[in-house]
Amino acid sequence: MHTRNLILPSVTLENIPFLWAKNDILIFFIDMNSYDSPGTEFLDNNEKENLEKLQTPYFKKRFIVSRTVLKHILCCLLNKESSLDISTYKDRHGEVRIFNHDDLHICISYSENIAAIAISRVKIGIDIEIKRPFELKKTLKYLHNTPFYSGKPVDDVGILKAWTLKEAYCKYSNTGMLSSLNKEPDLDNVSYFNFLLDGKYILSIVTEMGQHIFDLSYLDLSYLDLSCLDLSCLDLSCLDLSCLDLSCLEKINSYQGEAVWKTTENLSKQE
């Protein structure tokens, strides 16, 4: 399977409605180190209860940041007056869902300080890992049955490809990682892709089989204070996409001039 090398572009909240109009899947990358003391004012009571179940400051912070950013992204997509109008929950499979929006599929992945948030019109699983050394003997025993494993020597990037693909497939198929470690993912009826991002992160994506267009980008919120982030500072109420000729929008330059990818059966099986 070929790994695409991408240099990620940066986008802001104002870009999101335009991206959503042109894509089936949006995946945003967030640097959690940019937020020192995120507040909980955008979490509802159910989310705050889930937050209290987390044991460490790291897990608490990533929950607050990912849910707060997700809500502000969705506020743009759904044309809500406030992110407080959006509530998230986890279904019985552990998938993040949005109340009253069963048509949206959400998948979130973390690696150290990076959070990847996928919003999709189709079912999706993603996993991201920062490039780092692995202890081969401890890891390879779980990866014998993968498209990447051939019995030949494998480097850290090769291990991360296999590992993230398994994680992404488990999230897509709602199966537990522990129960799937020694099983080969059933990739015959899905589309899957693998990326090396900015030379630092390995990302795997698994979606329904078919032709889907997606965009990968950093979400730049550096100009906003996450502790008091509110879309009231952005006038999106008058945004009418019907009056725009979206066919002439300039695509964001992330890989050979294109940031959209079409996942086809041939690509997913052959690459």
At 54-106, the pLDDT tens digits run 999 999 999 999 999 999 999 999 988 888 899 999 998 889 999 999 999 99
Query: Model pTM?
Result: 0.78
pLDDT value at residue 73: 95
Task: Tell me 243's DSSP state.
Answer: G
Structure tokens at 83: 């992110």
CA–CA distance, 6 with 83 (Å, rounded to integer): 31
Coil, strand or helix at 107: strand
- Residues 242, 245, 247, 252, Cα dihedral to 10°: -100
Do residues 226 and 65 lie in contact, with contact meaning Cβ atoms separated by under 8 Å?
Answer: yes
* Neighbouring residues of 129: CB distance < 8 A, sequence distance ≥ 6: 111, 160, 163, 164, 201, 202
* Neighbouring residues of 183: CB distance < 8 A, sequence distance ≥ 6: 145
Task: Tell me 113's DSSP state.
Answer: T
Q: Count the domains in the chain.
A: 1
pLDDT value at residue 111: 95
DSSP β-ladder status, 96-98 and 88-90: antiparallel
CATH code: domain of residue 214: 3.90.470.20
Structural domain range at position 251: 4-270
Q: How confident is the model at residue 168 (pLDDT cuts 50, 70, 90)?
A: very high
Amino acid at position 84, single letter: L
